[in-house]
Amino acid sequence: MFKRYVVRKYAIVLLSLFVLSCQKDEKEVDILDPNLLSVSFQKANNPSLESDVELDFDNEDTFSGFVPYGTSIRSLIATYEFVGSSVQIDGEEQTSSVSSNDFGKERMVSILDDGGNGKDYLIRLHYHTGLPIVSLSAFDPETVAREYYIPAEISIYGGLDFQDIEDRPIQIRGRGNSTWTAEGVAKKPYQIKFLEGQEVLGMADDRRWVLLAEYFDRSMIRNKLSYEMGQMSSFDYSPQGEYVELFINDKPQGTYVLAQKVEESKNRLDIGDNGYLIEMDQRYRVAEDDVHFESPIFRQRTEKFSWLDTIYNIKEPADIQYGSEAYSNIENFVNAFEEVLFGDNFKDSEEGYRSYIDLDSFIDWYLINEIGKSVDAYGYASVFFSYVPGEKIKMGPIWDFDLSYGNADYSATAFYAEGNHVNQHPWFERLLEDDFFRQKVIERYTHYFDKRDEFLALIDKFSDKINRSQVLNYELYQNLGEEMWNNRLAVFQTHAEEVEYLKSWLFERINWMNGNL
């Protein structure tokens, strides 16, 4: 198609030689306007290339293409075919097949005529799969543990859309639970810590970041989609993440999501030094130095789940101590809230639960988790809430959606698009007994139902974004079409089928909820 376009352009140029001039607005216009006909990178001029690379034209103003990993993208020689007297980049004249330039970022190319008039074009050259590249080095991956950090180095090639980060020291440790500990899982998640706050891939500066492996979500889209839903909610803060290619000591590790860690900070969950961030988690999953408390009322309400051993893990303040005043304050406040919530007068607008909780965040947290049927959100793990003394409890941030949207067949209530799951969480099971709360949920659901096409479009967008990357990812790990502990029923042979399953499941789920809330 591109070759036919070039031939057509040449034909137009030859035909125009027989036309003398035309008048427009009383000014003479040269029909032979400057035009860029093609851009290529020839192997003969670029030894780092494996073969010639000819860029595609969008028929407007942009030439784009891909060069493989290992190409010297910072010093490439382009070959131009054009109509005009000269080619310039950033005001510097170029010699086709001779001039070398850095094409690691978008470049503007100007085609000029003898009078200095011209037309501008963009060259967007994607490196490797087109995703940003995170390179970790100066450590032995076999020595990484979840319990402590070790020193390492990082550099990030931001690609066409983000700023690069040059080599700098960091600390790294393992993270996660099932992905880190499951037998036979070679693709591991990590947490990294910069020595000082650092903006990363357009996300606000902070020290701690996580690299999500997405091993058990073979679409590699569920977390990213849920983050986008969180951005559309009433939460004060919802995590962000960007797809990247991860390399460790120059060895490819596949497709990851580099995401913000859920924590207190001015650019994340801004609850100040006195605010609390709590995670409902299982006792066996918390570290020895974590500070937590138990809720007798919550435990009583979860007796039907014999496997639950839920505790309230205090993530912030990080320096809290057992028996301190700060410890007693949060324990007492949560217990007081639950006593009211499960008391006889819980529906009262003044004396009931409404005086303890931020309704908007509770409703949005419930709906996003119920739409995705997040498997742990009934009170098992990754259930976050915050509290600032003098204010109300707020649910969120949302987190951990790889085993959601029909990707956990070990839970019948979580696997199928019909029915509810998160309403088994004792707090929400009780709240939904109140007609006032239930009506607020129904009204708010319209906000998400109306965005159903946008959600499906986001899935397509993310699928396109990682299309090249996922091919290499599954060449490394080869877990497409394989039964895994989390999902033995919905297993597909290709990434495209995984994406289509996610879309169809979500479409069915959103429509079911619309008729059954």
Residue 123 lies in a domain: yes
CA distances from 502 to 405, 463, 468 (A): 7, 11, 19
Q: How far is the C-alpha of 471 from the C-alpha of 481, rounded, in Å?
A: 14
Residue burial 121-139, b: 16+ Cβ < 10 Å; e: rest? bebbbbbbbbbbbbbbeeb
pLDDT per position as a tens digit, 269-301: 999 999 999 999 999 999 999 999 999 999 999
Residue 10 lies in a domain: yes
Mean pLDDT of the chain: 93
Q: Which of 387, 283, 252 is nearest to 326 (CA)?
A: 387
In this prediction the pTM is 0.92
pLDDT band at 184 (very low <50, low <70, confident <90, very high): confident
Full domain range(s) for residue 79: 2-127
Percentage of the chain exceeding pLDDT 70: 94
Residue 181 lies in a domain: no
Residue 427: half-sphere exposure toward Cβ, Cα within 13 Å: 24
Residue 122 lies in a domain: yes
Containing 21, the helix (H) or strand (E) segment is none
Region class of 232: left (phi > 0), else alpha (psi between -120 and 50), else beta: alpha
Residue 103 lies in a domain: yes
Residue 7 lies in a domain: yes
Residue 116 lies in a domain: yes
Token pair, residue 113, equals 């005529």
CATH number at 96 reads 2.60.40.2340
Handedness of CA 58, 62, 63, 65 (dihedral sign): negative
Q: Would you state the pLDDT for residue 95?
A: 98
Q: Which of 399, 368, 375 is nearest to 210 (CA)?
A: 399
Q: Would you state the pLDDT for residue 33?
A: 87
Domains held by the chain: number: 1
Contact 176, 187 (CB under 8 A): no
pLDDT per position as a tens digit, 49-67: 999 999 999 999 999 999 9
Contact 272, 390 (CB under 8 A): no
CA distances from 226 to 229, 247, 372, 398 (A): 5, 26, 8, 8
Residue 151 lies in a domain: no
Q: Which residues contact 118 (CB under 8 A, 6 or more apart)?
A: 34, 84, 88, 110, 111, 112
Q: How far is the C-alpha of 228 from the C-alpha of 239, rounded, in Å?
A: 9
Q: How far is the C-alpha of 364 from the C-alpha of 241, rounded, in Å?
A: 20
